[in-house]
Amino acid sequence: MLQLLLLVTLAAQQPAWQPAPGHLSIPVWPHEAPGAPANAPPEIDTTTAKDNLVAGKPLVRLGHVSTPTLTVYAPTGNNTGTAVVVFPGGGYSILAIDLEGSEVCDWLNSNGVTCVLLKYRVPGSGPYPKSSAALQDAQRAVGLVRLHAAEWHIDPHRIGVLGFSAGGHLAAAVSTNFETRLYPAVDAADQLSCRPDFTVLVYPAYLVAPEPPLALRPDIHVTARTPPALLVQAEDDEAAPVENSIAYYLALKQVKIPAEMHLYAEGGHGYGLRRTKLPVTGWPGEVERWLRTVGVVGADALPPGK
């Protein structure tokens, strides 16, 4: 009986999700995150047998994240020097940590791009300004990547963000809210810019205002300093209507920020980059071409280890 109790206790102490061995993970905050609640429940995989599959496979729906982390996925072959901070989606309630996280990092690595996966705080952490927690984590994450750029073999001027659904909102939020940190400075990472150099939004949510038509929410304020962006969405997306992408695209064009948008007839929501028969799931190829077009990756790639 005692042995069984010890096994149950040990299982309860194990994180609900861990990256594959060999990847560096660091805490986003050296101590507690700003406004951290006392006695937060442990992280759990909230997926049940009734939840939908994506491309015939299950996914991890990580809940109760109160201790945010960064996990670095470094390319094992060619290193372009480019890095992307990835924000999984999940309605600011959970994180689709594999579908829209670790699987995305594997794809980026195959293109010589360092992926930095942000496990940000959920639930109840957004969208900003409803809560500042997730945006605090995102601002801090971009600053940390710049701080460690030399150590992680990254060009500090080629650090982008990529987000899905609520993570797409978070990517747009950090791309339009980088002038002022939403928390007191902690260390040298907070003295560096948290402005991304480019932005990729895949079926983003929470961007469009109810009125007037195709206007952005006031907290997503596009200016001449907003990074260039690529947007991907399906027109039959009911969870995050296509107007979210259109509104952001039009705002970028209004201030002459380079933007590219790919709209597909079918695809719905929440497909990550798992391939199906639908053309929308070929979006990673569009991103690869765009990164070369805007000069983020290409002939100036850094050799491995440099």
Give the tens place of pLDDT for each residue, 8-52: 333 444 678 899 899 999 999 999 999 988 888 999 999 999 999
Q: Does any domain span residue 303?
A: no
Strand-pairing partners, residue 65, are 122
Counting every residue written for the chain, the total comes to: 306
Q: Which domain holds residue 135?
A: 23-203+270-293
**Structure tokens, 289:** 């071409």
- Residue 118 to residues 21, 67, 96, 114, 195, Cα–Cα distance (Å): 17, 11, 12, 13, 16
What is the per-residue pLDDT for 6? Answer: 35
pLDDT in tens, 112-122: 999 999 999 99
**Using CA atoms, how far apart are residues 274 and 67, in angstroms rounded to an integer?**
28
Phi-psi region of 90 (alpha: psi -120 to 50; beta: other; left: phi over 0): left
244 pLDDT band (50/70/90 cuts)? very high
Sequence-ordered list of residues with C-beta below 8 angstroms from that of 214, at least 6 positions apart, any chain: 208, 243, 246, 247, 250
pTM of the complete model beyond 0.75: yes
Q: Do the Cβ atoms of 67 and 25 come closer than 8 Å?
A: no
Query: What is the crossing angle of helices 166-176 and 133-147, to 10°?
Result: 60
- Once rounded to an integer, what is the mean pLDDT over residues 221-228? 98
Q: Does any domain span residue 240?
A: no
Q: Does any domain span residue 221?
A: no
Q: Does any domain span residue 59?
A: yes
Q: Does any domain span residue 257?
A: no
Q: What is the CATH number of the domain that holds 42?
A: 3.40.50
Query: Cis bond leading into 129, ω under 30°?
Result: yes
Q: Does any domain span residue 123?
A: yes
Q: Does any domain span residue 242?
A: no
Q: Does any domain span residue 304?
A: no
Domain count, the chain: 1
